[in-house]
Amino acid sequence: MADQTFTAGQILTASQMSALQSNIGLVPITPTSVTNATLTGNVAAITSGQSTITLSGVFTSSFESYKVIITGMRTSGTQTVYMKLNNSTGSTYNYIITYFSYSSSVSVNANSSADANGMAIAFGATTTTSSETEIFSPFAATATTFRGSNQGPANPTTMVGIDTNAASSANLILTVTSGSFSAGNIRVYGYR
């Protein structure tokens, strides 16, 4: 929608108000297909026993920035969850992930070397955790930046990072380091 300019005292029509309402905030994205998950509307429900989940067709030219929310995530053990774009090898990811223990200690893990899995975004556990990651410019043929957080009983985290690979990607890939996903729902939103 093109920007509109309104004047004081102007009466807005129902269609103008509907257009304004539908063009602000987060817009749910429905993947064109998913691998190792069940798609219902815009929600990809993780299939238990899978180590990799792929959401295809979630990044397009319609949005520049995205938010990925994973709720009810469980893994077969305490494992690192990685996120990667489909047109990236993983060797171009640099990130810093800070994690906290409930015993009041803080650790920082910086990865600036090649990692075929992509970028660490969360620590999974056999109990439920949730993760939120913002992704900036994944569809543009430029570097992609990330920031996010993970909440749960196993090492709550914050993360920032970059994929310096200047390739356009449409798909999102989630992987655990060992073991598998047990449950969870993945939603992708585009920012207006």
Classify each residue of 48-62 as buried b or exposed e, where b means 16 or more C-beta atoms within 10 Å of its C-beta.
Answer: eebbebbbeebbeee
- pLDDT (tens digit per residue) in 57-106: 999 999 999 999 999 999 998 888 889 998 877 678 888 888 776 666 66
pTM: 0.84
Domain boundaries, the chain: 26-191
Q: What is the DSSP letter of 50?
A: B
Q: State mean pLDDT over 162-175.
A: 92
d(CA 27, CA 20): 13
- pLDDT (tens digit per residue) in 2-42: 566 778 888 888 887 777 766 678 899 999 999 999 999 99
Region of 21 on the Ramachandran plot (φ > 0 left; ψ -120 to 50 alpha; else beta) = alpha
Q: What is the DSSP letter of 70?
A: E
Residue 95, token pair as written in the block: 């990130």
Q: State mean pLDDT over 139-150.
A: 92
Q: Thinking of the domain 26-191, which architecture would CATH place it in? A: Sandwich (2.60)
Strands (E), the chain: 26-29, 33-35, 37-40, 43-46, 52-56, 65-75, 79-85, 93-100, 106-111, 119-124, 129-136, 144-151, 157-163, 172-176, 181-191
